[in-house]
Amino acid sequence: MSIKPIIPAGSAPPLAPYSPGVRAGNTIYVSGVLSLDANGNIVGIGDVKAQTRHVLESIKAVLKEEGATMANIAFNQIFIKNLEDYAAVNEVYREYFPNPAPARYCIQANLVKPEFLVEIASTAYLGD
């Protein structure tokens, strides 16, 4: 099985040594995505809905590079800075994952910078 890095045009510069995504066989692993634009600027400071939307659009861009869509996502790992933002994150999340939604977990965590309010990592399956 080959392992191929996925780096969409216009993706944010990584804050550490990682690829935005990796395809291994029929599975795509999307690294934890933060709300950064192509120049490394934080998008939506203080607005968890804007950050969630930006993160999900960034995940969509990684998947698109390999011909996948959000419907291919089997599992999401969600990290939020404040549990008070849980409902707002879910409001935006539902727009991208109507029923049946993928499996997931959501935990409160300190993120890399205090301005980040949400981070999401995804696993997508492309089929046999």
The CATH code for residues 3-125 is 3.30.1330.40
Cα separation, 9 vs 28, in Å, equals 17
Closest CA to 45 of 115, 101, 104: 115
Residue range 23-48, pLDDT digits in tens: 999 999 999 999 999 999 999 999 99
Instruction: Summarize pLDDT for 94-126 with one digit per residue, the tens.
Output: 999 988 999 999 999 999 999 999 999 999 999
Q: Is 83 helix (H, G, I), strand (E, B) or coil?
A: helix
| Beta strand residue intervals within the chain, DSSP E | 3-6, 21-24, 27-33, 73-80, 103-108, 118-125
**45-102 confidence digits (pLDDT tens):** 999 999 999 999 999 999 999 999 999 999 999 999 999 999 999 999 999 998 899 9
Query: Where do the structural domains in the chain lie, given as residue ranges?
Result: 3-125
The model's pTM is 0.95
